[in-house]
């Protein structure tokens, strides 16, 4: 038995408390009884944590005991009184915050899992590859496998953070961007010093501080902006000279520099450095004016069939030059078509690689090396198996292919694998049909006869349930089999559709090992991100902020004192 020291609404000691049998609701009822109020109006806090009724059960119903929620002998518990409505509201807020925390944890875990699977050349579970590209769309590898994994994870989390910023969810965006910053920090600094993703992430974090309007971030914001300024200049070159060469004379970075100037102006204003603030804000204002799209140019591009957003982006990134904007839009269209073709080709390759299986180190068969072996006359499947066994070592694969004994062993393995896969495929189909409600023995007998899935369903629906031998099923159709060209009865068609909707049990086991929902969410963000997404910023909010802070500086200058922004 334990003693609990209660303070607050009722002060005293509860004795003879069995921590293994008492629950949070029971403790709440006891405190409420001694406080002469209802249990709904009592809030309990122990060790800085609000005690909830389902704490020890993870929110899945039922009640855990006090020991499970961390209450010990001589624990001090604060009891406060709230109205039943306030109590319910408080509990809802706590539940919402815990759900948010769980979701962010899942997001981090999903990004980690995706990066681990896609950074080392392993055969992907999905039908796509996640790869790091430069601004021209070329695949790049940065440093070691650890560096590549960290960069990939950082880029995914940064993209998700930017998506949350666009949705106006700055609090969650800040959390996700912090995860991305942590991922980038795992890289060798020399690997990422010439890419601008990290300094842009710093600017995005300070933008979240600004939109949340929390003055407590002021010191941290100043440091981040200093790092961003240095990092951008290192990556883009002095006066963006290197970026200008890469982008063919275009100005994609202008909106990004506008935001950087604005944020520097805000930070220096709140630090009391009015002259520095005015200089930064004047620079931001000049860039803002430069980014204003002329109505005539916009109308002209839209008359050519381009969407308003695309036309504005093209004009802003090309210094309002209509001819350059048209060239830019044409290039972007070509890149999108090429990307779609590349995605289709890569999905086809992944399906082919999955047929060959994984190497002992879980890597995919290298299709380029496979082409080399096929080009000199070797059977494709045989060559693929040789590469798979030898971790894509072409010379060792050649040795196995030219050695009669190992060549024969490769052929035997391939035939065995085919039989095994055919058996697995049949078992999967049997499970799907059984899932529709047919008796297993009847289904197995129907598949033993052979034929397509449609033919099996026709036999099962045509045969009386009492007779389910293979011989009876064989005679279910007039000619001993069902014609695949004959129209299916309506109910059979519906059954086939339902069977196709039933997931493969093997796929389900894989799904249980992965957070498919969160991984799909991250993948969808990546698909919508292009090489210039970091520079594609609508600057309406920035324009309003520039005007606001320049007015504050004027007011502070005329009155001789500082004035805080609302």
Summarize pLDDT for 203-226 with one digit per residue, the tens. 999 999 999 987 778 888 999 999
Third-level CATH fold of 2-82: Ubiquitin-like (UB roll) (3.10.20)
The pLDDT tens digits of the residues spanning 376-394 come to 999 999 999 999 999 999 9
Q: Which of 40-44, 285-289, 451-455 has the lowest mean pLDDT?
A: 451-455
Q: What is the dihedral of CA 494, 496, 502, 503, to 10 degrees?
A: -150
What is the end-to-end Cα distance of the chain in Å, rounded?
Answer: 55
Residue with the bigger pLDDT between 120 and 469: it is 120
φ, ψ (nearest 5 deg) of residue 139 = -70, 140
Helices (H) and strands (E) in the chain, counts: 24, 5
Reading phi first (left if > 0) and then psi (alpha if -120 to 50, else beta), residue 42 is in beta
- Residue 81's DSSP bridge partners are 42
Q: Where in the chain is the domain with CATH 3.10.20.90?
A: 2-82
Q: Helices in 120-194 by DSSP H: which ranges?
A: 145-166, 170-185, 189-192
Taking residue 105's Cβ as centre, other Cβ atoms within 10 Å add up to 12
The whole-number pLDDT of residue 203 equals 95
Reported as a pLDDT band with limits 50, 70 and 90, residue 566 is very low
Neighbours of 43 (CB within 10 A): 21
DSSP string of 214-283?
A: -GGGHHHHHHHHHHHHHHHHHHH-GGGHHHHHHTTT--TTHHHHHHHHHHHHHHHHHTT-HHHHHHHHHH
Highest mean pLDDT: which range of 275-284, 312-321, 465-474, 535-544: 275-284
Determine the pLDDT at residue 492: 52
Is it the case that residue 69 has pLDDT exceeding 90? no
What is the overall mean pLDDT for the chain? 80
Residue 415: pLDDT above 70? yes
Rounded to an integer, what distance in angstroms lies between the CA atom of residue 456 and that of residue 463?
A: 11
Q: Give the angle 462-466-472 at the CA atoms, nearest 5°.
A: 55
Q: Is the pTM of this model over 0.85?
A: no
Over residues 466-494, the pLDDT tens digits come to 454 545 445 444 444 433 333 444 455 55
Identify the top-confidence range among 336-340, 401-405, 482-486.
Answer: 401-405
State both tokens at 313: 């982006």
Q: Name the nearest CA neighbour of 111 among 210, 177, 47, 25.
A: 177
Residue 438 backbone dihedrals phi, psi, to 5 degrees: -75, 150
pLDDT at 488: 42
- Across residues 501-505, what is the average pLDDT? 44
Structure tokens at 442: 């009847």
Q: What is the DSSP letter of 479?
A: T
Q: What does the pLDDT look like over 419-457, one tens digit per residue? A: 888 888 788 888 877 877 778 888 788 777 777 777 777
Mean pLDDT, residues 155-163: 91
Q: CB-based contacts of 253: which residues, under 8 Å, 6+ apart? A: 232, 236, 240, 243, 535
């Amino acid at each position: 038995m334990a003693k609990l020291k209660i303070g607050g609404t009722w002060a005293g000691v509860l004795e003879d408390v069995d921590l293994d049998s008492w629950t949070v609701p029971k403790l709440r009822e006891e405190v409420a009884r001694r406080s002469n109020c209802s249990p709904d109006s009592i809030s309990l806090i122990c060790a800085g944590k609000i005690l909830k009724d389902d704490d020890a059960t993870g929110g899945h119903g039922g009640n855990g005991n006090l020991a499970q929620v961390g209450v010990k002998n001589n624990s001090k518990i604060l009891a406060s009184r709230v109205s039943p409505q306030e109590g319910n509201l408080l509990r809802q807020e706590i539940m919402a915050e815990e759900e948010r925390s769980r979701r962010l944890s899942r997001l981090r875990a999903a990004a980690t899992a995706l990066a681990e699977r896609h950074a080392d050349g392993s055969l992907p579970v999905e039908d796509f590859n996640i790869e790091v590209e430069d601004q021209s769309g070329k695949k790049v590898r940065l440093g070691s496998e650890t560096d590549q994994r960290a960069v990939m994870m950082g880029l995914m989390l940064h993209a998700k953070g930017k998506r949350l910023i666009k949705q106006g969810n700055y609090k969650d965006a800040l959390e996700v961007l912090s995860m991305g910053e942590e991922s980038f920090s795992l890289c060798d600094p020399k690997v990422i010093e010439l890419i601008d993703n990290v300094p842009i992430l710093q600017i995005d974090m300070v933008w979240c501080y600004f939109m949340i309007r929390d003055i407590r971030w002021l010191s941290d914001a100043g440091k981040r902006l200093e790092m961003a300024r240095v990092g951008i200049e290192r990556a883009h070159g002095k006066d963006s000279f290197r970026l200008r060469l890469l982008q063919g004379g275009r100005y994609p970075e202008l909106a990004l520099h506008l935001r950087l100037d604005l944020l520097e102006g805000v930070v220096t204003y709140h630090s009391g450095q009015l002259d520095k603030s005015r200089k930064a804000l004047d620079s931001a204002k000049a860039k803002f004016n430069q980014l204003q799209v002329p109505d005539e140019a916009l109308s002209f591009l839209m008359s050519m069939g381009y969407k308003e957003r695309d036309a504005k982006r093209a004009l802003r990134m090309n210094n309002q030059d209509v001819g350059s904007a048209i060239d830019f839009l044409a290039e972007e269209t070509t890149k999108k078509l090429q990307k779609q073709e590349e995605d289709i080709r890569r999905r086809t390759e992944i399906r082919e690689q999955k047929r060959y299986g994984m190497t002992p180190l879980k890597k995919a068969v290298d299709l380029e090396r496979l082409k080399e072996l096929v080009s000199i006359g070797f059977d494709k499947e045989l060559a693929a198996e040789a590469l798979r066994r030898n971790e894509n070592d072409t010379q060792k694969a050649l040795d196995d292919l030219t050695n009669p004994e190992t060549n024969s062993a490769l052929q035997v393995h391939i035939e065995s694998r085919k039989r095994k896969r055919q058996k697995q495929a049949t078992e999967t189909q049997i499970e799907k049909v059984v899932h529709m409600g047919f008796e297993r023995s009847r289904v197995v007998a129907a598949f033993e006869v052979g034929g397509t899935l449609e033919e099996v369903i026709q036999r099962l629906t045509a045969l009386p349930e009492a007779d389910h031998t293979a011989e009876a099923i064989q005679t279910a159709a007039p000619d001993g089999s069902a014609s695949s060209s004959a129209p299916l009865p309506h109910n059979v068609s519906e059954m086939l559709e339902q069977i196709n909707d039933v997931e493969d049990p093997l796929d389900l086991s894989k799904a249980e090992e992965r957070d498919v929902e969160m991984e799909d969410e991250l993948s969808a963000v990546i698909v919508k991100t292009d090489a210039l997404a970091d520079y594609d910023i609508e600057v309406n909010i920035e324009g309003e902020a520039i005007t606001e802070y320049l007015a504050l500086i004027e007011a502070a200058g005329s009155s001789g004192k500082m004035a805080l922004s609302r």
